[in-house]
Amino acid sequence: MDYGLIGKIEKAKRYAEERDRIEFLEFTVTFKGENNDHTVTYRAGQWHCNCDFFQTRGRCSHTMAMETILEGMVEIARAG
Ligand SMILES: [Zn+2]
């Protein structure tokens, strides 16, 4: 038995439930929309999406979905 590893597994389970320990700094995802794929990026608290809606509103269904998925680990975009 690797007790060291068992301890780490237990710690990982606890950490995985403590989302506020994690803060995303940057990432890029391909978001499969209903019609097209979109590229959503997040860097230093700033969201970006290449869909048309985002270009005029600074927020869109793709970035808002990501905010929900990553709640507590990313900053929420400000509309307008
Ligand atoms: Zn979008």
pLDDT at 75: 85
Ligand 1 centroid vs 19 CA: distance in angstroms?
25
Tens-place pLDDT, residues 7-58? 999 999 999 999 999 999 999 999 999 999 999 999 989 999 999 999 999 9
Could you say which DSSP state residue 7 is in?
Answer: H
Ligand 1 centroid vs 44 CA: distance in angstroms?
18
pLDDT at 22: 93
Tens-place pLDDT, residues 46-78? 999 999 999 999 999 999 999 999 998 998 876
pTM, two decimal places = 0.82
pLDDT at 18: 93
Ligand 1 centroid vs 76 CA: distance in angstroms?
15
Ligand 1 centroid vs 20 CA: distance in angstroms?
25
Ligand 1 centroid vs 49 CA: distance in angstroms?
5
For every residue of 28-58, which 3-state class applies, written as one string? Answer: EEEEECCCCEEEEEEECCEEEECCHHHHHHC
